[in-house]
Structure 1
């Protein structure tokens, strides 16, 4: 296995996504639907607007009566918001109308208030109207039976508002995939514990739990397994009801990297375990029996970069959404050297400029132990294998890390 060639990032991601299945759906109220992925189209239960409505305060008229201005019209009545004028609008008449009120029968335009002068029971129109002026036509937004929101959409605040307007109070969404995970290593302690000699505080579990939640999954933190095969097996056993198992560390072939040897007797079938990328070469994927299993590097920066590239798309894929990742282009903020054989993901600040491409400036220090730079990063700059040196202003591909 040590002689297995390194897999490309795109091939690794394709293999992971191809191995996954969509989780079942569930129906939730709108108050619980934010960030969920729609499992079926949301269908409008009403037409909006339900009638031709005024888009402005002013006067409902027959457009033909205003062809020659100024035009003096009789004010036949009023149509307040929440009310209506019940009669038919006759030639030479106007109806005082307010935003949101239905047009009287016979009216085909609105003259805005600013273009009129009221004279007792009459109104003088100073600007000619055309049919449809300032009218919100029936069904302008949607009609009964329309697919207002398509399945696979990750619901945001505007989607929730649209569903409510369509008179939909519940939505069928993908269940949140349960992602079980644990770290390995005798050197690790949880935040808040006092590290002993030669121990460090583990950042991986909490960071990964946050990423899983951001992607719409449900994190199941199994803690830290000791560098003992029995402890690794016992910890992995607790993940059987999850939709995916993720390990952090122990996936390489060193004397203390025990995940493969510990779990192979329990049915671990490895699809691949090395990827041509930096940071994150020791990335493992396979299945523990029927359970998809992703092995991330133990280095915190490598683990989180790989989680962005592989785990986040996997969680979205399991919910029936667009897995991404979604790369965009930016201008380089400073010179970078040529790249080696592995695809490089450089942590970078991202400055947005109105009307122009954003500027991605890689941090001078790219050490994969530095969580501070990952926290400060707005994006990852993607450097292809064997890329030539690049100068400031050149176009580069980036993966944004923040909304």
Structure 2
């Protein structure tokens, strides 16, 4: 199966899917991103800048380096004094008139027949236009003998070689990495404006849940979703606000959701199916929610609600742990990245060779948890094993999600598939990265 066969623009559902009210993922992503505002900027210390998104253009206020400086330990000389062909038999001898360590300026100018001993990084003295490497000379405190000629300007880093005054060196919307942090320090920017981090209120629902510090009976299950989602929020650069567990009554759910409306995003897990105790839909409406969709044409993660409550983004994710994580990846994370000021919102995508057999119905887009490896210069991927939506071990073992489009019914060993990476840039230095969907859902 070729890339063209595997990933198409269609991803179209048949009439049965439409009648079920399922929303295509790419349509849902567009709806979510269209509804997502960018947050404002705040002034932060450079020490807190790593991973933040720059909220201003950084313009260079002076050249770097600010003056011509030596790239070597050696001797600053006039090229006219050493331009002849020299040899061990006919060396040139120059008088050493000064020593200039890094961080100091020469007090003298280099004249004919003279040299200044200079250290790496020190400014080039007036009169000199070339630096001789110390290992290419024979020297004493008072003189230096030159056995090997150098080209004019050798071993000098010119003023502005790195950046020049007035240059826009880092653009607004750039995520700060160690390189950007170092450049900010070179430019003496102790504070910068960065986009605010989205605050995400997280709520789990269900009488069957017990929190980590509760005494619970055997019929209870541990609330893992809140903590998995909180970690995903932090991984996306946000601030998680845990609201605890809402019991299975409309009043309890309404109260908890109301507490979360001070955040930028509200994320619920559970209570979005059609059971007798699934009150999310009615409570959202009671709170004045403007809802956009309730079901997605994906697996895992079909029952999923999205809308706005009092102007805040509200997501109702499925209760199964894997479903909540997969749907967070596809919808909540992109919204957070847009809020944070990033210009692209998706995970890196690579193409890989599928190693197994897989079949499904042509009704939903599947995201299989996978393990991506590189063998003999090619990417290969296999599933983590059982793909049950309640099996959190499938996410623990996974470093990627295998994206199987709606219209694909089966995969065979050797077929090409698109793979969403889950651990950042682990593979992108070796792989061609492809866009991952609409609205600039590209590598970030």
TM-score by length of 1: 0.93
Structure 1 residue 69 displacement after superposition: 2.4
The 1:399/1:279 distance shift into structure 2, 3 A limit, reads same
| Mapping 1:241-280, distance limit 5 Å | 241-280=262-301
- 2:94 is the alignment partner of 1:94: no
- 2:302 is the alignment partner of 1:285: no
2:92 aligned to which of 72, 79, 82? 72
The 1:394/1:124 distance shift into structure 2, 3 A limit, reads farther
Q: Deviations over 1:299-352 (max 9, x none)?
A: 111101111221111111012113421332143362232443322111112335
| Mapping 1:306-385, distance limit 5 Å | 306-332=327-353, 334-341=355-362, 342-352=364-374, 356-385=377-406
Structure 1 residue 269 displacement after superposition: 1.6
Which segments of structure 1 move beyond 6 Å, counting only runs of 4 or more? none
The 1:196/1:110 distance shift into structure 2, 3 A limit, reads same
Q: How many residues align?
A: 402
The 1:31/1:90 distance shift into structure 2, 3 A limit, reads same
Measure the CA separation in 1 of the matches of 2:19 and 2:410: 30
- 2:97 is the alignment partner of 1:107: no
The 1:90/1:401 distance shift into structure 2, 3 A limit, reads same
CA contact (8 A) 1:45 1:167 kept: no
Greater relative contact order structure (CA < 8 Å, 6+ sep): 2
- Unmatched 5+ stretches in structure 2: 1-16, 425-444
1:41 is aligned to 57
Q: Deviations over 1:149-176 (max 9, x none)?
A: 2111121222222111110000111112
- 2:187 is the alignment partner of 1:166: yes
CA contact (8 A) 2:355 2:380 kept: no
Moved more, 219-228 or 391-400: 391-400
Measure the CA separation in 2 of the matches of 1:392 and 1:127: 63
Structure 1 residue 119 displacement after superposition: 5.6
Q: In structure 2, the residue corresponding to 1:301 is in which secondary structure?
A: helix
Structure 1 residue 388 displacement after superposition: 5.8
Structure 1 residue 145 displacement after superposition: 3.6
The 1:132/1:395 distance shift into structure 2, 3 A limit, reads farther
The 1:120/1:156 distance shift into structure 2, 3 A limit, reads closer
Measure the CA separation in 2 of the matches of 1:362 and 1:58: 59
Measure the CA separation in 2 of the matches of 1:316 and 1:292: 14
CA RMSD of aligned residues (A): 2.2
2:7 is aligned to none
The 1:53/1:184 distance shift into structure 2, 3 A limit, reads same
Q: Deviations over 1:379-399 (max 9, x none)?
A: 111112232644545443211
CA contact (8 A) 2:354 2:416 kept: no
